[in-house]
């Protein structure tokens, strides 16, 4: 059984005006996960305001205090032939944890997926983050151990993109 959220909890979709609040929590989340971050209030504001924006964000509040967020975007499964939502990040400020807020945020994202007739909500979890793994599993999430996430960034991304440019055959 999932924990019932704090009775004063509200969740709403983020607007460009929420970018500063979101950026502050992203920085705290990055520190918790021991990861560098480069997003700023301005980059988040620009993305949230863009007519072709990629991300959406839900913010959790207790009263006027922002206590958590979920950032997500549409994905597509070529095998299932359906769109889904990819949960990029979900975070609750440390002093507000274990009050049902993360469950409420994930429930909000799940409801959006169902309302939009999407096939799934998918996400990754750092292997060392056993607290998050246990949390997601209590909600019915299952790990997909058949897949491994890979990433091209920085110099390797630029190198791959520029290789063979003189005789490029993949013209658009």
Structure confidence at residue 172 as a pLDDT band (50, 70, 90): very low
pLDDT of 20 above 90: yes
The answer to whether position 33 is within a domain reads: yes
Question: Among the listed ranges 8-12, 19-23, 88-92, 143-147, which one has the minimum average pLDDT value?
Answer: 143-147
pTM: 0.86
Whole-Å CA distances, 61 to 30, 47, 109, 169? 20, 22, 16, 52
Give the count of domains, the chain. 1
The answer to whether position 21 is within a domain reads: yes
pLDDT tens, 43-65?
999 999 999 999 999 999 999 99
Task: State whether the Cα torsion 119-70-140-100 is positive or negative.
Answer: negative
- The residue with tokens 């922002």 is 66
The answer to whether 129 and 90 are in contact (CB under 8 A) is no
Tokens of 40: 């700023």
The answer to whether position 168 is within a domain reads: no
The answer to whether position 69 is within a domain reads: yes
pLDDT of 75 above 90: yes
Note down the domain range covering 64: 9-162
pLDDT tens, 150-164?
889 899 999 999 987
The answer to whether position 2 is within a domain reads: no
Pick from 169, 49, 3, 33: nearest CA to 94 = 33
Strand ordering across the sheet containing 65-77: 9-13, 56-62, 65-77, 82-92, 121-122
pLDDT tens, 88-143?
999 999 999 999 999 999 999 999 999 999 999 999 998 888 999 999 999 999 99
The confidence score (pLDDT) of residue 129 equals 87
The confidence score (pLDDT) of residue 162 equals 92
Q: What is the CATH number of the domain that holds 97?
A: 3.40.630.30
Distance CA 32, CA 28 (A): 6
The confidence score (pLDDT) of residue 33 equals 85
The confidence score (pLDDT) of residue 65 equals 96
């Amino acid at each position: 059984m999932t924990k019932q959220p704090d009775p004063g909890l509200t969740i709403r979709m983020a607007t460009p005006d929420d970018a500063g609040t979101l950026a502050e929590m992203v920085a705290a989340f990055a520190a918790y996960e021991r990861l560098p971050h480069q997003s700023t209030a301005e980059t988040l504001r620009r993305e949230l305001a863009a007519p072709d924006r990629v991300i959406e964000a839900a913010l959790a509040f207790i009263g006027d205090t922002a206590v958590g967020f979920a950032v997500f975007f549409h994905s597509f499964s070529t095998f299932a032939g359906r769109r889904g939502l990819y949960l990029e990040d979900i975070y609750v400020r440390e002093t507000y944890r274990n009050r049902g807020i993360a469950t409420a945020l994930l429930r909000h994202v799940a409801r959006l997926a169902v309302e939009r007739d999407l096939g799934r909500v998918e996400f990754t979890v750092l292997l060392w983050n056993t607290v998050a793994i246990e949390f997601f599993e209590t909600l019915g999430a299952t790990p997909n151990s058949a897949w491994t996430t890979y990433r091209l960034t920085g110099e390797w991304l630029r190198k791959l993109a520029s290789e063979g440019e003189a005789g490029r055959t993949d013209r658009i």
